[in-house]
A and B are shown apart, each in its own frame.
Chain A
Amino acid sequence: MFNHTQKPLTNSVPVCVTGTGVISCAGLGADALWNAAVEGKSFVESGLGKLDDDLLDRARTECEKSQFYPALANMHAQLPKSKFGFLALYAALKAMEDAGWDKLNSDDGLILGTTTGNILSWEDDFIAFGKGEIGHDQFAEAFRHEPLGKSLDTVRTALDFDGRNCLVTSACSSSTQAIAQAAMWIREGKAKRVLVGGAEVLCQLTIRGFQSLQLLSEKACTPFDANRSGINLSEGAGFLCLEAGPSPHARALVSGHGFSSDGYHMTAPHPEGRGSYEAMEQAIASAGIAKRDISWIHAHGTGSPANDFSEGTAISQLFGEESVWVSSTKGVHGHALGASGIIESILCVKAIEHQTLVKTRGLNAPDPRMRLKHPTENRRELISHILKNSLGFGGANASLVLSSLATMVIP
């Protein structure tokens, strides 16, 4: 078993997390999400993690009544009408409020990760037009929202931001890649501050698509369980404010990242987790730490038989059997596809702040083919570095190392 240490990081420019904002089926804000994870309470209903109307109404009211937002309103900010745009902007504003950013400056950066973006704005009309139920003009008006880049424009326009920006769309790895890209921008000096996030909405394309692949579970998912029966799609958005450190507002660090491709299959992960192994190994190396320094792996852990086996095998091979705590929180908040990486990274920030790692909800009989070290209860212990994994369709893998401030060395 590894001895977990507080090894200092060697990155020349620390990348500090100074704010978090999130909306998920578990509620509004990072505390609601964290409390749900700690309590092991699932917000998945009928197999989906859907945001209910009451939650959305509360979020809108919160935006309208906040003392923080008038400053943004003066910059022509308006709450978007589309669900995707609203979720993204809500999470972005909450992160900025948390970090004390009253606006984005032209030398800041903005990165968004998503899989389907603003698809709800045109999906129904596309189908209706194909069936001859609506005319061309109505269809054309809706279809103007189709380009994925317009999803980013919704946030950009609302924040009156015209600086460096990017939209990353690598399926379930999207926002994990986005966080890594933001860290790269800061380390390269392309931006001192980056607002980075992810957002996803439930839509027919993904619900019926995953259903066609027989990957959906009707019950709350049970990652790494021998009897796991599939994934729970969900929706939500999360944003992080990242700044070049040191920063007095820092709460955690983005200290490493790794990427790989399976080069194996369009939807199935490599059975031995070759790509995931590579991404984790790179992330640890780029943080300048050793495997034994990892306190917890917040796994991608979707509850899909193939995905969990691939990732679990990669973890076993890289770390050795039962050597590092591994769990997944998707049984609590579901799988928000392109937004899952950022939502779960926010949970990792909370875990670092609380020095607590959480167990996998619903894991009763661990799959014996993967000899992983699963916590059977939440554990309060020294957490220096967390490894966050994402595995995406198309074989796109990404891993992050998120670290406690105690590991930061002032350059």
Chain B
Amino acid sequence: MKLAITRAAIADERDAENFRGRPDFRKATRNMCLVQAALEKFGEWNSRGRRVGVVLGTSHGELSSTADFLSELGIRNVARPFLFQNSLHNSTLGFITQRLQFTGPSFTVSNQYFSGERSLELAHSLLVGNLVDSCLVVGVDSIAAPAKEALRAIYPDEVNLGEGAAAILLERDESPQALGYLAEVNCHSSSVDKKPVQMTASYYDSDAIQHLVQMVLGRERERTLVKPDGTSSLIRVS
């Protein structure tokens, strides 16, 4: 079965900044703004009564809200409800589904360096299993304060840690609107000699979706994504 990519968009920190000051984003986190920005870049799209699912991949989830919650708890012994509701890994998707009044299947996946790849695999299952006709796949990770410094403790110095969100719309049926077809997602997590690699380009754990968007827009067939620990994944588009 061919899976057509019919929409694709990337959002970065500048796009997320556009939501600053908007009343409806007053309690939104950086991840929520990044995902919303990516979806708005999709432009208008009509699901035409199709069953739509959404899978979101994120490694650190809403770490900034978790950090804020724990800091408030530690310093002032105060537990703030809105920080808690924003602190779970699936809070990003909860916010987005609420905004879109989205009622289809929604999954949040978190597999560290392979969060984007695993999201694509799950979307594939939903489509092949005929649970949905279309599936949004989103990858998002951010390095907003106060978690920014903490995150540096996780990555080797060689990693140029960035942030961003990317989204694609996968459809089961072949479509004249297809930007490309997702052919293969293959994770190679068993490197014998795992060691940190020099990464000059900006990197975030769930950026496989961003790479996929760049591939379909640039008509690139294949990319190998090298991870901070030396493992890798291969994504093919036909």
Cβ B93 vs Cβ A394 within 8 A: yes
Any A CB within 8 A of the CB of B128 = yes
Question: Using a CB-CB cutoff of 8 Å, which residues 107-164 of chain B contact chain A?
Answer: 107-115, 118, 121-122, 125-126, 128-129, 131, 150, 153-154
B97 touches A213 (CB 8 A): no
Task: Determine the distance from Cα of A181 to Cα of B190 in the docked complex, in whole angstroms.
Answer: 23
- B103 & A266 in contact (Cβ 8 Å cutoff): no
Interface centre among A130, A266, A278 (most CB of B within 10 A): A266
Residue B80 at the A interface, CB < 8 A? yes
A319 proximal to B (CB < 8 A): no
Given contacts A148-B110, A209-B69, contact A143 B74 (CB under 8 A): no
Contacting pair A146 B63 (CB below 8 A): yes
Interface presence of A230 (CB below 8 A)? no
Choose the segment among A51-59, A65-73, A256-264, A295-303 that binds chain B (4+ C-beta atoms closer than 8 Å).
A256-264
Q: Is B98 an interface residue (CB 8 A)?
A: yes
Q: Do A166 and B122 form a contact, CB below 8 Å, given A205-B69, A212-B84, A396-B90?
A: yes
* Nearest-neighbor residue (CB-CB) of A143 within chain B: B153
User: How far, in angstroms, from A185 to B118 measured CA to CA in the complex?
Assistant: 13
| Contacting residue for B67 out of A126, A181, A392, A393, CB 8 A | A126
CB pair B59–A393 under 8 Å, yes or no, is no
Contact residues in A for B86 (Cβ distance below 8 Å):
266
What is the predominant secondary structure among interface residues of chain A facing chain B?
Answer: helix
Q: Which listed residue (A127, A188, A262) contacts B71, Cβ 8 A?
A: A127
Whether B85 pairs with A259 at a CB distance below 8 angstroms is no
Answer yes or no: B60 CB below 8 A from chain A CBs. yes
Kindly state the separation between the CA atoms of A165 and B111 in the bound complex, as whole angstroms.
9
Q: Is A409 an interface residue (CB 8 A)?
A: no
By beta carbon, the residue of chain B nearest A185 is B125
- Do A130 and B74 have beta carbons less than 8 Å apart? yes
The answer on a CB contact under 8 Å between A212 and B74 is no
The answer to whether B73 and A204 touch across the interface, beta carbons within 8 angstroms, is: yes
0 or 1 for each of A105-137: is its CB under 8 Å from B? (1 = yes): 000000000011000000100111011000010
- Report which of B70, B104, B106, B129 forms a contact with A205, defined as CB distance below 8 A: B70
A169 to B70, CA, bound (A): 20
CB-based contact B153/A144 at 8 Å: yes
The number of inter-chain residue pairs (CB within 8 angstroms) is: 189
Total interface residues on B, CB under 8 Å, equals 60
Taken together as a complex, chains A and B put the C-alpha atoms of A261 and B103 apart, in Å, by: 4
Contact B121 A166 (CB under 8 A): yes
Instruction: Write out the residue numbers on chain B whose beta carbons fall within 8 Å of the beta carbon of A346.
Output: none
- Across the two chains, which residue of chain A brings its CB closest to B63? A146
**Cβ-defined contact, A149 with B114, below 8 A:** yes
Q: How far is the CA of A126 from the CA of B122 in the complex (A)?
A: 32
- Complex-state Cα separation, A261 to B92, whole angstroms: 13
B102 touches A263 (CB 8 A): yes
B190 and A213 contacting across the interface, CB-CB below 8 Å: no
Check: A232 CB closer than 8 A to any chain B CB: no
Please determine whether A263 and B103 come into contact, CB atoms closer than 8 angstroms: yes
Residues of A within 8 A of B81 (CB): 209, 212-213
CA distance A212 to B81 in the complex (A): 5
Shortest beta-carbon distance, A271 to chain B, in Å?
14
Does any Cβ of A come within 8 Å of B87's Cβ?
yes
A267 pairs with B98, CB closer than 8 A: no
Known: A144-B153, A147-B112. A127 touches B61 (CB 8 A): no
Interface contact A148-B79, CB-CB below 8 Å:
no
A211 at the binding interface (Cβ < 8 Å): yes
Q: Identify the closest chain B residue to A162 (Cβ).
A: B190
Residues of A within 8 A of B102 (CB): 261, 263
- Contact indicator B114/A168 (Cβ below 8 Å): no
Is B66's CB within 8 Å of the partner chain A? yes
Q: Closest 8 A-B residue pairs measured CB to CB? A: A394-B94, A149-B112, A209-B84, A127-B74, A259-B105, A140-B153, A212-B79, A208-B79
Q: Which residues of B contact A (CB under 8 A)?
A: 53-54, 59-61, 63, 66-67, 69-71, 73-75, 79-81, 84-91, 93-95, 97-98, 100-115, 118, 121-122, 125-126, 128-129, 131, 150, 153-154, 189-190, 205
Pick 26 A–B contacts, CB within 8 A, sort by A.
A115-B88, A126-B150, A144-B153, A146-B63, A149-B110, A169-B61, A169-B88, A184-B125, A184-B126, A190-B125, A205-B69, A205-B70, A213-B81, A259-B104, A259-B105, A260-B103, A263-B102, A263-B103, A265-B98, A266-B94, A266-B95, A267-B85, A275-B103, A278-B103, A395-B98, A396-B93
Using A165-B111, A266-B86 as known contacts, list a sample of 12 further A-B pairs with CB atoms less than 8 Å apart, ordered by residue number in A.
Answer: A116-B88, A146-B150, A147-B59, A147-B112, A167-B109, A168-B108, A169-B90, A169-B109, A170-B106, A205-B70, A209-B79, A264-B98
